[in-house]
Chains A and B, each alone.
Chain A
Amino acid sequence: MRRLYSSLVDGRGFDLCLIGIPLAFLIVLSGVPLIYNVVMSFQAVDMFSLGSFIRPWVGFENYRQLIAQPEFWPIMGHTATFLAASIAGQFLLGFALALFFWTNFPGASWLRGLFLVSWVMPGLVVGAVWNWLLSGDFGVFNFVLRELHIISDNVFWRSDPAFALWSVIIANIWLGASFNMILLSVGLSSIPDDLYEAAELDGAGALTRFWTITLPMMRSTIGALISLGLIFTLQQFDLFAAITAGGPNNSSNVAQYWAWDLSFKQYDFANGAAISVIMIVVVMLASVYYVRSTRHEVRG
């Protein structure tokens, strides 16, 4: 007993206790649901069997049903569009802003930080504000586009099936670009100045320096950021709930919203679990890449 106590206060037990309790907590509340999700995707789950552990085993029936649904492939297509457009938009806008603020003038770092409010705001509030900005008849976004002569008639962003997904993408790009910018700024500031000085002496122009120094030096940052973008974009749910709710007629529905919709709107927990399993596998693959690209760290 004494030895156990002294180990807890002053030895291995102290470390094991500090790491063991949180890990147990995470395993119970994240690991167990993760595995249970896989189990559930092979069971028949309805409102009656929801409260019991033992349910009929159906094998791959849920997955077959899910893929046979007419909206499965369109929703997968929307998910791919949403991912590609959001990540590209966030990254390019973030990179442009980071390059501008890199010129380093008084006040640059404070102003740069201010952009991050778009990222710390509750997703529901971002969604509500963009829902109103993108309103068809009275939205100020349409007004600005009209004044710039980009469009001649109002675009009904949220209710036109051709644009509904893009209304969420626009909001998501706004939300995430600042985060990209901050992380890219860190990467940019870690490039040694003498590389640029040497290149300038050799007569390299601004564009050449960008292609031959900036981009190659930023490779690991960009790789980590893109996989982080994939992870964050697949987590985006609030904007769908606040702007289009997946509609009209599933034209802006994506996998992560569909999973919730199946379980909590249609009470089809089995299919909800099946689509969750599919998407979690995708996220896991992305995160393996992310974890690998952030491994090169030095103890400071």
Chain B
Amino acid sequence: MSETFRNRLLLVIALLLAAIYLFPLYWMYITALKTGSEMFATPPSFWPDDPQWSIFPFVFQLKGMGRFLWNSVVIASGSVALIAVLGTGAAYVLARYRNAWVDVGLFLVLMLQVLPASLMITPIFVLFTLTGILDFPRTAVILAIAAKSMPFFIVLVRATFMSVPMELEEAALVDGNSRIGAFWSIVLPLARNGILVSAILIFMQAFGEFVYSKSLIQEIELQPSSVGLNAFMGPNTNEWNRIMAFASIYVTPILATFVLLQRRIVSGLTSGALK
């Protein structure tokens, strides 16, 4: 068996595995394009006879998805901004020093990372009610997401800072830079890619966040797409083509971003999560 034949064979098997694994995604898009009767056909059709492209603008209008998506973007951007500004500094300090205090800080950060949102929401809801933050529901969700996701961001970005050679920063200090100057003009630019990738990953997570939004936001005008999709799926629904159209519109921007930046996201993730 020659080398090229072996490679081709493995590639074909890999493509087949990927096709099977990603079939649920394919089925989402295909179902959205089917007519009401074709959707319930037995045996199911694996290619739509008469693709209903108009379903996307129709569902977008019907469900007011513009507002849902806008709220998702507001919540995700707010969380990422807060996390990036606060988390980058913490990650830098935790990467630069190695002593008992840093170990304690790191341990604390890692422990806070693991608290499940659905368990933390009870005290957060009560505390936000008591302090009146709940009157600004989207801000409340942003704060809750920031507290939940910041540890993960710190862990990822810390790994990036660890790979920035400390000698460069020391050289800048010798050249007369202040600490803040060296951080701003030497360390940050070198870690820029890692920070950006981690921020994108956090944005994707916050864009799909559900528990906090569902529990803290009562007004439908302020709810993000995840809550909208949940409300759309009643217990005995048969509008699956419309639900899948909603899901497709919601998830396509995330999928596109991921496929474009796949290499960077995967390497950023693997350097931080396990080492």
Docked pose: A283 CA to B117 CA in angstroms? 12
For B122, the chain A residues whose CB sits under 8 A away are: 37, 40, 259-260, 263, 269, 272-273, 276
**Chain A contact surface mostly:** helix
- Known A34-B123, A131-B233, A291-B110; judge A105-B6 contact (CB<8 A): yes
Say how far A287's CB is from chain B's closest CB, in angstroms: 4
Question: Chain A's nearest CB lies how many Å from the CB of B217?
Answer: 12
Shortest Cβ gap from A135 to chain B (Å): 8
Minimum Cβ distance to chain A for residue B86 (Å): 4
B211 to chain A, nearest CB (A): 5
Contact of B146 with A133 in the complex, beta carbons under 8 Å: no
CB distance from A189 to the nearest CB of B (A): 10
* Identity of the chain B residue whose Cβ is nearest the Cβ of A140 in the assembled complex: B44
The docked-state distance in angstroms from the alpha carbon of A186 to that of B272 is 12
**When the two chains form the complex, which single residue of A8, A15, A26 contacts B151, counting CB atoms closer than 8 Å?**
A26
Cα A132 to Cα B94 with chains together (Å): 45
A63 on interface, CB distance cutoff 8 Å = no
B274:A224 contact, CB within 8 angstroms = yes
Is residue A207 within 8 Å, beta carbon to beta carbon, of the partner chain? no
Question: What residues of A have a CB within 8 angstroms of the CB of B259 in the complex?
Answer: 114, 117
CB <8 Å contact, A231 and B114: yes
What count of chain A residues pass the 8 Å CB interface test?
A: 104
CA distance A284 to B115 in the complex (A): 8
Q: Which of A17-25, A197-205, A209-217 lines the interface with chain B?
A: A17-25
Candidates A11, A22, A130, A132; contact of B89 at CB < 8 Å: A22
B205 partner residues in chain A, CB cutoff 8 A: 120
Question: How many angstroms from the CA of A234 to the CA of B119 in the assembled complex?
Answer: 10
In the bound complex, residues from chain B placing their C-beta under 8 Å from that of A108 are: 10, 14
A124 within 8 Å of B by Cβ?
yes
A113 to B259: give the CA distance in the assembly, Å.
9
Contacts from A to B (Cβ < 8 Å): 8-11, 14-15, 17-19, 21-23, 25-26, 29-34, 36-37, 40, 45, 50-53, 97, 100-101, 103, 105-111, 113-118, 120-126, 128-133, 135, 137-138, 140, 143, 174, 178, 182-183, 186-187, 221, 224-225, 228, 231, 234-235, 237-238, 241-242, 245, 256-257, 259-260, 263-264, 269, 272-273, 275-276, 279-280, 283-284, 286-287, 290-291, 294, 297, 299-300
5 closest cross-chain pairs (CB), A and B: A122-B208, A18-B89, A29-B147, A33-B123, A37-B123
A-B contact sample (7 more), CB < 8 A, given A124-B226, A182-B266, A228-B274: A11-B179, A22-B87, A32-B127, A34-B120, A106-B11, A113-B265, A128-B229
- B interface residue numbers (CB < 8 A to A): 6-7, 10-11, 13-15, 17-18, 21-22, 24-25, 27-28, 31, 39-40, 42-44, 86-87, 89-90, 92-94, 96-98, 105, 107-127, 129-130, 143-144, 146-148, 150-151, 154, 162-163, 178-180, 183, 201, 204-205, 207-211, 214-215, 225-226, 229-230, 233, 235, 240, 243-244, 247, 250-251, 254-255, 258-259, 262-263, 265-266, 269-270, 273-275
